[in-house]
Structure 1
Amino acid sequence: MQTEINKVELRNLRIEDYKELRLTMQHAYKDVDMDMDEPYWGEKDIKRLLKIFPEGQLVVLVDDKVVGSALSLIVDHKKATTNHTYEKITGNYSFDTHDYDGEVLYGIDVFIDPEYRGLRLGRRLYEARKELCEQLNLRSIIFAGRMPNFNEYSDELTPKEYIEKVRLKEIHDPVLAFQLSNDFHVIKVMRNYLEGDNDSQDYAVLMEWNNIYYDKSPVLINTRKSIIRLGLVQWQMRPLANVEALFEQAEFFIDAVSGYGSDFALFPELFVAPLMADFNHLSEADAIREIARYSEPIRKRFQEMAISYNINIITGSMPMVEDGNLYNVGFLCKRDGTFETYTKIHITPNEVSYWGMVGGSEIKTFDTDCGKIGIMICYDVEFPELARLMADEGMDILFVPFLTDTQNGYTRVKHCAQARAIENECYVAIAGCVGNLPGVNNMDIQYAQTAVFTPSDFSFPSNGIKAEATPNTEMTIIVDVDLDLLKELHEFGSVRILKDRRQDLYRIKKQPVSRKNEPKLDDVPDLTIEDATAEPKPVKVPARTTRAATARVTPPRAATTPKPKVIVAKPVGGTEIKTTRRPAKG
């Protein structure tokens, strides 16, 4: 190997390079056992290649001397992936098979002067080929690789067995091992590909590298963006005179984040809770059912704002009553005017005990103009199975509106959200409520620090935190996330969590469940904005089957702060210590 090197250059091949190129080919193929008169390209061949596809011919120079090259054509994908010979794919060495309308960058040759091997110059050529493939919007790179050491094992191994042992590094094959290390995968083994290749016993391994950025039908408008801007709202709980006051505050934030070009606005869980103040004379279960009547007009107003401000709005969550059951639901209001509904799956003990809430039964992702997203409400993010199911459906960003009253509750949400980002190779955005709400039972204190979390690899922040708000302060954070970095992580990350799962040992799948109790907007009483701003009549709460819910609802409790539960602990020595604890939210 050359030891003293001053300069390494990679560029397109020129016809003036031919003399050095030929010498390099002669050095590279001098020990190759081939029944060929001249195992190198003639000057006419190179001129022809440079005429039809100059950008596909690459050379690497060391101290201004050509020491390696990679030669390519563009061909039809079907021709490249069906059985063929080297002579056929090159058009009997005329290169007439080159097709600018093809989908595949086909590698017809790559070689490095043996004196310069060990400098990873071949890797440079392959990386340049990959960049060219991406720039030309080609589907993949394909070539048929030799197996120069197969002749030593052909009596005892089939080509398939040989390839597997090379992959497991039980056998060294300099060509095949190099291709596998450069992220190429095996398509098939072909016989009689290159006649006279005695080292490979006339076999060749058809290999492919997929361009993850390939767009089969590129369009000039409405293209899916790679850089997505998120606008997250850290909402201050405050007394509100009516629902119009809530709309005014919400529109202020939507106007602000859309003014900065955000693609999404995320509101927290149950940010509508201040509306319960008018019903504080009722039990907690009755009060939250009263404000469930606001959910439909809130959804309609947010739909209008999504259109007028050209932004996708995730409405946090709000209560909804369906068939006597109380659900925690939210809406994805898209800027095209449509909307979709999501429901909290897992209900905390606090929500069951104080409100008699029940969980939904649908796990799904959502297609948007900015990629596929998932939405989980607070406690749901603490269950890793949900996010994994969404990741399997192609989720890029997970949004988590949350509501926590204490720092330890927030810590659970934060660290679980960070774990979901790492293990599912996605972004996770969380947004919560802050401040105090003394006029509403069971909603007195809140703690939050809104944030965006990332996977943990070199392309992302070292601590996995893209941005964080100031704790317990009303504000917004506006954050850009790059979806292309996720694609690169999936394919080329330091670790590849989704790809490396042992699905031969374990697998997560959805269970078929009945959705007859899932909330449906068609069955929600129609409440106009005018009705919503007036004081609604109390709604009679239907009886529920759970003991906790029944105890809270029948009869209604007086308008007092909920009586904390009493827990009796007996320490060593027998003395009783009485402590009080309210079930935490989030």
Structure 2
Amino acid sequence: MQTTINKIDLRNLYLDDFRALRASMVRAYKNYEDFWEEDEIEKLLTIFPEGQLVILADDVVVGAALSIVVNLEDFKTNHTYNEITANSSFTTHNPDGSVLYGIEIFIHPDFRGMRLGRRLYDARKELCETLNLKSIVFAGRIPNYGKVSKECTPKEYIEKVRMRELHDPVLSFQLSNDFHVKRVMKGYLEGDLGSQEYAVLMEWNNIYYEESPKLINARKSVVRLGLIQWQMRPLKDIDALFDQAEFFIDAVSGYESDFALFPELFIAPLMAPYNHLSEGDAIRELAKFTEDIRARFQEFAISYNINIITGSMPFMDEEGKLFNIGYLCKRDGTSEMYTKIHITPNEVSHWGMTGGNKIQTFDTDCGKIGIVICYDVEFPELSRLMADKGMQILFVPFLTDTQNGYTRVRHCAQARAIENECYVAIAGCVGNLPRVNNMDIQYAQAAVFTPSDFTFPTNGVKAEATPNTEMTLIVDVDMDALKELHEFGSVKILKDRRTDLYEIVEKNQNK
């Protein structure tokens, strides 16, 4: 990552953003002088405010995607940029049109390589679906074509880029975002020497056309979970850990997962250099890596546009107490810590762990979630309190050495799904780890459990991984199905509790 970021926001453009928009655009386009003027932006915001999107890093505009709605049939096959924008008067915008036409997209050069452009593309797709439009269309430059124009035609150049024989910074990116080529147009943007004034008309088709519109940035009805069943192995250093973790994050984000779940204490291989120390001292050395791991995983969350649950790792507070904690690293650039509350006898006797004292849920762009670490899931009161706060998905990073230990986690997790009418996702470590005391063997089978009713699998198991094999598990969960279950289920466990006879009360955590 080139620049440290605390928070990423994606929202509609406001006129007050103009100065920052202009500054970023100047940096984005070298050797170009025809930048947007404030009155032009004001026109766009007047006629089509929902179509103007910006992405902000720490409240500063670092990218934008501007668009209008048109009927493409109203324009010549080989139209120009000035024709499609009516010389930046935008009288071509037609609220009753069928196509979202992109007229601008850019990212500040200091913030490239972080997949922020992909977020803008995804937001455009969401807008297209929301407005129930047939497609997104825009004419993309091919800035590297000028370098090879004497050797190939534009058509041949496009094919070489498509086959990855050549790279074009604009066209390659568009093709990777599911846009397909409609035609090549000559003379689209006057003075574009890099493209030899050629442009490629690109299109993305809305397969949900004619379905009921959705609101922009509304929480998803279907959430995709990426569970990582991690193989314990000796690691050379922390960079090796990051390489392996990034591989899995890249893999599950490639399937557009909304969450990546890592197991409990999957960073244990980094304890190997301290195996000559006592177990308690060794894990305290491991705790020194925790902040660096949090920071890197936060970068991954931004770069891969995915919410990451970092499993767990040791953490020492200012008083020297050792906790088993993890982080929810959100793709908006923020992070929150969670702590294991129930500590196993092994963790106490070997490591001197202390249990946390905070019961919490987390708001995400996919709904409210809870996170409990391993042993915590065997205490039903904890997740019931989370369910009372609106939890819809419970994530359980775990670490078990034997099959009977795994059985306790699995069956308790499945019980939590049924009794709390929520989804429960579990992920653990597999394999063996030599030369790390108290971490010799692991047994795991990642899985996603559901409530038990007609809408869900009859055995309450949405999906499960192969036991004791390193792999990922990609699973879709339907959030609307939970809403229907709460209202129309065969039984209504949360509603039918006899609170006149009993209740679970969370004690004052400040005491």
Same structural fold, with TM-score higher than 0.5 when normalized by the shorter chain: yes
Name which of 348, 354, 362 aligns with 1:352: 348
Q: In the TM superposition, what is the alpha-carbon distance from 1:405 to its structure 2 partner?
A: 0.1
In 1, distance between residues paired with 2:328 and 2:463?
Answer: 23
2:73 aligns with none
1:380 aligns with 376
Identity %: 80
In 2, distance between residues paired with 1:223 and 1:356?
Answer: 44
In 2, distance between residues paired with 1:340 and 1:243?
Answer: 22
In 2, distance between residues paired with 1:303 and 1:345?
Answer: 24
CA offset digits 1:197-236 (Å, max 9, x no partner): xxxxxxxxxxxxxxxxxxxxx9742111010000000000
Match runs of 1:87-236 below 5 Å: 220-236=215-231
In 1, distance between residues paired with 2:306 and 2:258?
Answer: 5
In 2, distance between residues paired with 1:247 and 1:331?
Answer: 16
1:462 aligns with 458
1:279 aligns with 274
In 2, distance between residues paired with 1:417 and 1:343?
Answer: 18
What stretches of structure 1 of length at least 5 have no aligned partner? 1-217, 516-586
Q: Does 1:240 align with 2:235?
A: yes
Q: What SS does the aligned partner of 1:508 have?
A: coil
Q: Does 1:361 align with 2:362?
A: no
In 1, distance between residues paired with 2:273 and 2:324?
Answer: 20
Name which of 325, 335, 338 aligns with 1:339: 335
Q: What SS does the aligned partner of 1:305 have?
A: helix
Q: Does 1:475 align with 2:484?
A: no
In 1, distance between residues paired with 2:258 and 2:374?
Answer: 22
In 1, distance between residues paired with 2:275 and 2:244?
Answer: 22
Q: In the TM superposition, what is the alpha-carbon distance from 1:439 to its structure 2 partner?
A: 1.1
In 1, distance between residues paired with 2:420 and 2:489?
Answer: 13
Larger radius of gyration: 1
Runs of 4+ displaced beyond 4 Å? none
In 1, distance between residues paired with 2:310 and 2:395?
Answer: 11
2:250 aligns with 255
Q: Does 1:304 align with 2:286?
A: no
Could you say if the C-alpha distance between residues 219 and 495 of structure 1 is closer, same or farther in structure 2, counting changes exceeding 3 Å?
A: closer
- Number of positions where the alignment pairs a residue of Structure 1 with one of Structure 2: 298
Q: In the TM superposition, what is the alpha-carbon distance from 1:509 to its structure 2 partner?
A: 1.1
2:498 aligns with 502
1:438 aligns with 434
TM-score computed with the length of structure 1 as normaliser: 0.50
Q: In the TM superposition, what is the alpha-carbon distance from 1:513 to its structure 2 partner?
A: 2.7
TM-score computed with the length of structure 2 as normaliser: 0.58
CA offset digits 1:50-95 (Å, max 9, x no partner): xxxxxxxxxxxxxxxxxxxxxxxxxxxxxxxxxxxxxxxxxxxxxx
In 1, distance between residues paired with 2:481 and 2:443?
Answer: 32
In 2, distance between residues paired with 1:340 and 1:219?
Answer: 29
1:315 aligns with 310
In 1, distance between residues paired with 2:427 and 2:215?
Answer: 34
2:507 aligns with 511
Match runs of 1:517-556 below 5 Å: none
In 1, distance between residues paired with 2:232 and 2:379?
Answer: 27
Q: In the TM superposition, what is the alpha-carbon distance from 1:441 to its structure 2 partner?
A: 0.2
Q: In the TM superposition, what is the alpha-carbon distance from 1:369 to its structure 2 partner?
A: 0.1
2:415 aligns with 419
In 1, distance between residues paired with 2:344 and 2:418?
Answer: 25
Q: What SS does the aligned partner of 1:324 have?
A: coil
Letter in 1 for 2:252: V
2:200 aligns with none
Name which of 381, 390, 394 aligns with 1:394: 390
What stretches of structure 2 of length at least 5 have no aligned partner? 1-212
